[in-house]
């Protein structure tokens, strides 16, 4: 019989995957899993997981505990009167296994689709940069998630040395909002990157960014971006000037 | 405007479009020079031309639109253009996660992990970075967890026209009857 003696735990996507493997290997009936045996086999693998320091070891240990709980519940005597139908303690586990198996199979389908699409290549035209931009931006509605990512990325240039000085920085949100408004009044649009060059401290950058978000919310400004991590182009919004 | 002109316009749009060209977008690009001819008809004319003249590319219907892609027989040469050995394939974990999202969207990370029985942070991150998934709002329930769904790039990546084109997920009953058969 074709039974591998030792199988790497890393082969498995998780405890459910391992259980499905054990069931298939020993040709077990998924509806009537011999819980004592499968728990024993499972624990052998979890023992390996401890050595391997797998990051998902916790998920395996949790399943081991679940299996032992089911095993204990199966040892309890049945209701002596036999009046009440006692649910098989394995039911929940069986349902989980079957549900997981459906998606594991679907993943195979996706892999096949991936394989058939892989040999096809297509050309993606380079997006325009913010400078070339006129009325039409590539991404009209920049999502908040994109803006946050960009900000996080840009802020890396403002890593400050670890020193201890306590000084009160006189900068407020409304001040920066006013500053942005006056810039927009004269210039029409501002590049976020250029804007940052004017500021020396991280705090001012953060406050300015918050001011932009606030103005974005109240539709005083619009923000456009040509691609992720790219410069943000700030221009007047529908409600510009109405405060 | 004759079909010959339209064919040229469509060809130009196909090459310049950053995403699969849809009928609606095609019409928007035509502006005043409207036509009743459906994009699909013009595409099939182009396809005939391409076949006749033995082009190295073909037109694929994907993500509710059309896209020019290279024919698969040129992959060995195209690979030479890239430093890595072709495109990166998705891991088993990422494929499982993607399968769950595509059939049950919108879903939260918890939904995914409940089915997989294992932490899915890193595969979610990979799929978001590769833009195959996107975040679409938050769950109404406690914690207001982020909701994930598949993107247009997902359809492109797997060569699907719409999410409805996905093969039907097998019913639990089918899996069970198969299990029984194997035992007998």
Which segments of chain A have a pLDDT < 50? 1-5, 129-137
Q: Which residues pair with B67 in a beta bridge?
A: B60
Chain B CA closest to residue A149? B129
Instruction: Enter the tokens of residue A27.
Output: 């040709």
Q: State the Cα–Cα distance between residues B133 and B93, nearest whole angstrom.
A: 14
Determine the average pLDDT of the residues in B25-30. 92
Instruction: Enter the tokens of residue B150.
Output: 């598949």
> Mind listing the pLDDT tens digit for each residue in B31-86?
888 888 999 999 999 999 999 999 999 999 999 999 999 999 998 898 888 776 55
Q: State the Cα–Cα distance between residues B175 and A101, nearest whole angstrom.
A: 8
B167 touches chain A (CB under 8 A): yes
Radius of gyration of chain A (CA): 30
> Mind listing the pLDDT tens digit for each residue in B100-125?
999 999 999 999 999 999 989 989 99
Q: State the Cα–Cα distance between residues A29 and A82, nearest whole angstrom.
A: 26
* Greater model confidence, B181 or A88: A88
Instruction: Enter the tokens of residue B134.
Output: 């996107």
Chain B CA closest to residue A14? B118
A130 neighbors A230 (Cβ within 8 angstroms): yes
pLDDT score at A130: 45
Fold of B92-171: Arc Repressor Mutant, subunit A (1.10.10)
pLDDT at B29 over 60: yes
Look at residue A160 and give its three-state secondary structure. Answer: coil
pLDDT at B154 over 80: yes
A140 touches chain B (CB under 8 A): no
State how beta strands A232-236 and A189-191 pair. antiparallel
Instruction: Enter the tokens of residue B81.
Output: 């253009």
Look at residue A39 and give its three-state secondary structure. Answer: helix
Q: State the Cα–Cα distance between residues B100 and B105, nearest whole angstrom.
A: 8
Q: Where are the domains of chain A?
A: 9-77+85-117, 130-236
Instruction: Enter the tokens of residue A9.
Output: 């735990």
In chain A, positions 120-139, which contact chain B (CB-CB < 8 Å)?
Answer: 120-125, 127, 138
Q: What single string gives the DSSP state of each residue in A71-97?
A: HHHHHSPP-TT--S-PPPTTHHHHHHH
pLDDT score at B90: 92
pLDDT score at A3: 43
pLDDT score at B21: 95
User: What HEC string does chain B produce?
Assistant: CCHHHHHHHHHHHHHHCCCCECHHHHHHHHCCCCCCCCHHHHHHHHHHHHHHCCCCEEEEEECCEEEEEECHHHHHHHHHHCCCCCCCCCCHHHHHHHHHHHHHCCECHHHHHHHHCCCCHHHHHHHHHCCCEEEEEECCCCCCCEEEEECHHHHHHHCCCCHHHCCCCCCHHHHHHHHHHHHC
Residue among B15, B24, B12 nearest B69 (CA): B15
Q: Does domain A130-236 have CATH number 1.10.10.580?
A: yes
Give me the residue from B16, B99, B157 closest to A125, CB to CB: B16
pLDDT score at A75: 85
B136 neighbors B149 (Cβ within 8 angstroms): yes
Fold of B3-76: Arc Repressor Mutant, subunit A (1.10.10)
Q: List every span in chain B annotated with CATH 1.10.10.10.
A: 3-76, 92-171
B102 neighbors B93 (Cβ within 8 angstroms): no
Kindly report the nearest CA distance between residue B71 and chain A, in angstroms: 6
């Amino acid at each position: 019989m074709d039974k591998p003696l030792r199988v790497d735990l890393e082969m498995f996507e998780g405890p459910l995957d391992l259980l499905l493997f054990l069931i298939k290997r020993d040709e077990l009936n998924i509806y009537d899993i011999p819980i004592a045996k499968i728990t024993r086999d499972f624990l052998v693998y979890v023992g390996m997981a401890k050595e391997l320091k797998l990051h998902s070891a916790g998920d395996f240990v949790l399943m081991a505990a679940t299996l032992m709980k089911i095993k204990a519940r199966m040892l309890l005597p049945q209701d002596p009167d036999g009046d009440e139908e006692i649910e098989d303690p394995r039911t929940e586990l069986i349902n989980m296994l079957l549900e997981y198996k459906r998606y594991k199979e679907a993943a195979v389908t996706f892999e096949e689709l991936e394989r058939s699409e892989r040999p096809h290549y297509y050309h993606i035209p380079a997006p325009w940069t913010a400078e070339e931009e006129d009325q039409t931006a590539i991404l009209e509605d920049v999502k908040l998630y994109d803006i946050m990512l960009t900000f996080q990325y840009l802020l890396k240039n403002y890593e400050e040395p670890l020193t201890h000085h306590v000084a009160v920085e006189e900068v407020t949100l409304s001040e920066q909002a006013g500053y942005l408004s006056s810039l927009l009044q004269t210039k029409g649009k501002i590049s976020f990157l250029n804007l940052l060059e004017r500021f020396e401290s991280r705090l001012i950058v953060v406050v300015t960014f918050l001011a932009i978000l606030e103005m974005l919310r109240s539709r005083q400004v619009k923000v456009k971006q040509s691609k992720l991590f790219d410069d943000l182009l700030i221009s007047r919004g529908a409600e510009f000037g109405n405060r | 405007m004759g079909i010959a002109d339209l064919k040229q316009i469509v060809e130009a749009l196909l090459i310049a479009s950053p995403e699969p060209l849809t009928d609606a977008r095609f019409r928007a690009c035509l502006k005043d020079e409207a036509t009743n001819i459906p994009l699909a008809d013009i595409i099939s004319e182009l396809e005939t031309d391409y076949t006749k003249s033995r082009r190295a590319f073909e037109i694929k219907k994907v993500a509710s639109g059309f896209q020019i892609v290279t024919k698969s027989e040129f992959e060995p040469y195209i690979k030479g253009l890239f430093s890595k050995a072709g495109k990166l394939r998705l891991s088993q974990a990422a494929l499982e996660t993607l399968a769950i999202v595509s059939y049950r969207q919108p879903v939260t990370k918890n939904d995914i992990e409940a089915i997989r029985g294992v932490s899915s942070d890193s595969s979610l991150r990979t799929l978001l970075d590769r833009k195959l998934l996107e975040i679409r709002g938050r769950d109404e329930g406690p914690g207001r967890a982020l909701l994930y769904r598949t993107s247009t790039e997902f359809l492109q990546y797997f060569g699907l026209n719409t999410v409805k084109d996905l093969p039907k997920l097998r019913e639990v009953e089918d899996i069970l009857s198969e299990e029984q058969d194997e035992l007998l």
